[in-house]
Structure 1
Amino acid sequence: MKQSQEEPGSAPPPGELVRMADVLPLLGRPGLRWAGRVLERLLALDIINRVHAAAVAEAEPRAFLTRALEAFGVRYEVDPAQLLRIPSEGPVVVVANHPFGGVDAIILTALLAGMRGDARVMANHLLLRIPQVRPVLIGVDPFGGPEAARRNVRGMQEALDHLMDGGLLGVFPSGTVSHLQLPRGVVEDPPWTQHLFRLVKRSGATVVPVFFEGRNSALFQAAGLVHPLLRTALIPRETARRRGEVVRLAVGRPLPKARIEGFDDAARFTRFLRVQTYLLGERKAAAPAASPKPAGRRGREPEPIAPPEPVAALAAEVARIPAEDQLVQEGDFRVFVARWSRDPALLREIGRLREETFRAAGEGSGRARDLDGFDRHYLQIVLWDDARQCVAGGYRVARVDRVLRARGRRALYTATLFRFRPGFLRELGPAMELGRSWIRLAYQRKHNALALLWRGIAALVVREPEACVLFGPVSISRDYQPLSRGLIVSFLRETLLDRGLASAVKPVKPYRLQGRAARLAREAGRAVRTIDDVSLLVSEIEADGKGVPILFRHYLRLHSIVLSFNVDPAFADVVDGLLLTDLRRTDPKILQRFMGAEGLARFRAFH
């Protein structure tokens, strides 16, 4: 709607909300009123007035807005479980994209007013002409000019006071409707205002993002290219055009005060909120990937997983593990080294459980057991549950220098995924290659399972302290959406890539992200600060709400670096990040957690 000659907040003419004569007084003259009526029809102002007349009898704001939506013939859908993410008390800012310019404001105001009695929404000051909604609106002026600046200062102060009183505030941070952004050719909000940062920081409010699905018509986008006021004039027409539609919206995970305090830059904070909001539109209702493709058997179904090994056979082999291969004992759990030549039943069971675990994560070899030629000369770090007499998890480990001397570079698993500059592996010295990390499904919610395995790895390092460099692939499965994988890879490349060492490593099949997903990943990369930020964004995309794989978080705590990324078609197209960890650079407090005080002392004495 265009600004009238009346002061905002003054009552509209009886039965009407807006007339062309209010916008262009010339059209109110005798002989020109017909032109005003024609324009009102072209811009759908007559429909807006009929909707207003249908709802005007409702005095309460939410009832008025609900009746207006009914008169427009518009419904909205939102997951009731997601609405619970909006706190029921305390200062809260709900931010939303602004794709329509009319219906979205009505829906957000009706929604929030129905949830909390202290809800208010920052909206175009012209809407204050409607008496019924004045109690739930804070007027702002998007049209510019000195008077607009003064009005907006008052509006911002009113919004801050409302939050300081513990209220709920809805905001469209773009300040104007989504439109075609050139030269990118996408329809989305213009840059969001950074004033939002001040509101949130000063009030200590929790922030909750809301995403509206949809966009205005091609005519609307084209009109905006001619002049922004043409676009604004068409908003009533676009609102009327939504008759019979269902507007879908999604509510994201809240950003609590503690998370917000980590931001000290208004631009980055605003970009992060914007990215989080738009990523809500990328969530798919169903799992993104089909069944994993079997390794080396394209076009065939995966083999049935092998039956379990007899418990007695497994227990007998565990009982024969020599003392030098025993690594950790804690309660009912122990960690030890298993070997191909000595422990055949354990190796078969490890292969079976690896395949079962990896398939559940959208990975897997497609064979009955995930065993290959590398298992013959690699060591298996095994987590064993004495109480249940079963294998609970494992790692595969090899001393790189020993494998190179005895068998050559091709005997290293990582050499099937990456090409190394001549001499690079020897330059690493007596490093350990780690891979095939897994934890049995029944133990994945036990927080100590991964820690116990790493205590076993640390025990090996303490025994052979010269092998202080660990490296190997860490995977992101096809169970993640392509955009989620892109977000994780982009963040790791930007923050952890060692460009010097990375120049010595080339992936066999490079990972590439293209199109819309690549653009969104780049935008997110400019907004995130930490792996926790990335994990929050990933959880907004994934239907099951999962975040960054836990193993990546673990390696980040060890101060690992990234060398490269590869796509492995032999293992269900997982994206493997090649990570390198020099334990001499790891925080001693973290090392002590895995090595123990005595083990850490021995390790540091060596180095």
Structure 2
Amino acid sequence: MISIEHIIRSRTGLRLPRWAIALLRRLLYERRINELILSGQGLQPADFLRHIFRELEISSRVRLLADLPASDRYIFVANHPFGALDGMLIADTLLRQWRDVGVVVNDLLMHIESLRPLWIPVNKFGRQSHPYHRLYHKALASPTRQILTFPAGLCSRLCDGRVADLEWRDRFVRDAERYDRRIVPVYVDGTLSRSFYRLAQLRQALGIRFNVELLLLASELFAQRGSEITITLSRPIDPRSLSGTSAQKCQLIRHEVYAMG
């Protein structure tokens, strides 16, 4: 279950007035999200994901551009147009071939109890705790676990008339080399509403650092009801076969992701 009031208090120590909490609960769709979570309570991660997609009438179409041997170990790297929905859709795709999948996510998603076995939590808005750091590297070292990560960290924004990720961090390249994993580029086709991107642009123009537009992500999730989302997986890449620095390799792989769009 998700409690907006508890999350704010535990993260910031703030005790907001009741009217502010009530407003945030409506903006963040607390009741509807909790109804979804409760309706799938007790299900295993793969079944819970499929339950959510049925409830929201969301489906996916998967395009596989190359064979992915089940015995190999991968880091799947994807663009991030929707937020949490991307991770759930790709995880569902991977769970159809592998039983052991880990998704690097904002640790706020740990509040969805049925999906905790799937998540590899990171703190997007502060320093990493030692337990999170240990869980992350344990997952990478696992002989069986497949890893999914979003190098941008935040969902895509509108820039120069085109929706695309913010800057990618190259950590996934270094981790793939360190843990002897191949990298699989993944492209998720889709965008959020114009309201989301306009709010992001207004926030930037006003010099506001806090990502106010994130408050719309819950409503954006429900706005995808009835949609079919295409996911494309490319050929595996051995990062050691690429020339250049980790940052340059990161840009090459990002280019390959968007070339599938």
Q: Into which bin does the TM-score normalised by the smaller protein fall?
A: 0.7 to 0.9
Aligned residue pairs, count: 251
* Partner amino acid, structure 1, of 2:153: G
Say if 1:44 and 1:240, in contact at 8 Å, map to a contact too: no
Tell whether 2:147 aligns with 1:158.
no
Tell whether 2:198 aligns with 1:222.
yes
Inter-partner Cα distance in structure 2 for 1:151 and 1:124: 14
- 2:177 counterpart SS class: helix
Inter-partner Cα distance in structure 2 for 1:191 and 1:94: 17
- 1:192 counterpart SS class: coil
- 2:141 counterpart SS class: helix
Tell whether 2:247 aligns with 1:240.
no
Inter-partner Cα distance in structure 2 for 1:114 and 1:95: 18
Say if 2:186 and 2:234, in contact at 8 Å, map to a contact too: yes
Tell whether 2:26 aligns with 1:46.
no
Distance 1:232-1:139 versus aligned 2 partners, 3 A rule:
same
Say if 1:208 and 1:252, in contact at 8 Å, map to a contact too: yes
* Partner amino acid, structure 2, of 1:173: P
Aligned positions of 1:558-573 closer than 5 A: none
* Partner amino acid, structure 1, of 2:100: D
Tell whether 2:26 aligns with 1:26.
no
1:201 corresponds in structure 2 to 177
1:70 corresponds in structure 2 to 54
Inter-partner Cα distance in structure 1 for 2:28 and 2:113: 23
Inter-partner Cα distance in structure 1 for 2:154 and 2:77: 13
Say if 1:200 and 1:206, in contact at 8 Å, map to a contact too: yes
Gaps in structure 1 of 5+ consecutive residues: 1-15, 282-607
Aligned positions of 1:85-484 closer than 5 A: 85-144=67-126, 147-148=127-128, 153-162=133-142, 165-181=143-159, 184-225=160-201, 226=203, 227=208, 228-255=210-237, 257=238, 260-281=240-261
Inter-partner Cα distance in structure 2 for 1:17 and 1:83: 38
C-alpha RMSD of the superposition: 2.3
Say if 2:56 and 2:222, in contact at 8 Å, map to a contact too: yes
Shift of 1:128: 1.7
Shift of 1:154: 3.4
Shift of 1:63: 0.5
Inter-partner Cα distance in structure 2 for 1:118 and 1:215: 29
What is the TM-score when the length of structure 1 is the normalising length? Answer: 0.39
* Partner amino acid, structure 2, of 1:154: R
Shift of 1:44: 2.4
Question: Sequence identity of aligned pairs in percent?
Answer: 26
Inter-partner Cα distance in structure 1 for 2:59 and 2:15: 38
- 2:257 counterpart SS class: helix
Asked which structure has the greater CA Rg, the reply is 1
Inter-partner Cα distance in structure 2 for 1:84 and 1:273: 16
Shift of 1:43: 2.9
Shift of 1:220: 1.1
Say if 1:173 and 1:192, in contact at 8 Å, map to a contact too: yes
* Partner amino acid, structure 2, of 1:74: I
Shift of 1:224: 2.0
- 1:93 counterpart SS class: strand
- 1:209 counterpart SS class: strand
Gaps in structure 2 of 5+ consecutive residues: none
Please list the CA deviations of residues 304-350 of structure 1 after superposition, one character each: whole Å capped at 9, or x if unmatched. xxxxxxxxxxxxxxxxxxxxxxxxxxxxxxxxxxxxxxxxxxxxxxx
Inter-partner Cα distance in structure 2 for 1:153 and 1:69: 31
Shift of 1:151: 6.2
Please list the CA deviations of residues 454-473 of structure 1 after superposition, one character each: whole Å capped at 9, or x if unmatched. xxxxxxxxxxxxxxxxxxxx
Say if 2:66 and 2:234, in contact at 8 Å, map to a contact too: no
1:571 corresponds in structure 2 to none
* Partner amino acid, structure 2, of 1:45: E
Say if 2:74 and 2:181, in contact at 8 Å, map to a contact too: yes
Say if 1:120 and 1:168, in contact at 8 Å, map to a contact too: yes
* Partner amino acid, structure 2, of 1:120: G
What is the TM-score when the length of structure 2 is the normalising length? Answer: 0.86
Aligned positions of 1:565-584 closer than 5 A: none
Tell whether 2:36 aligns with 1:56.
no
Say if 2:75 and 2:183, in contact at 8 Å, map to a contact too: yes
* Partner amino acid, structure 1, of 2:55: A
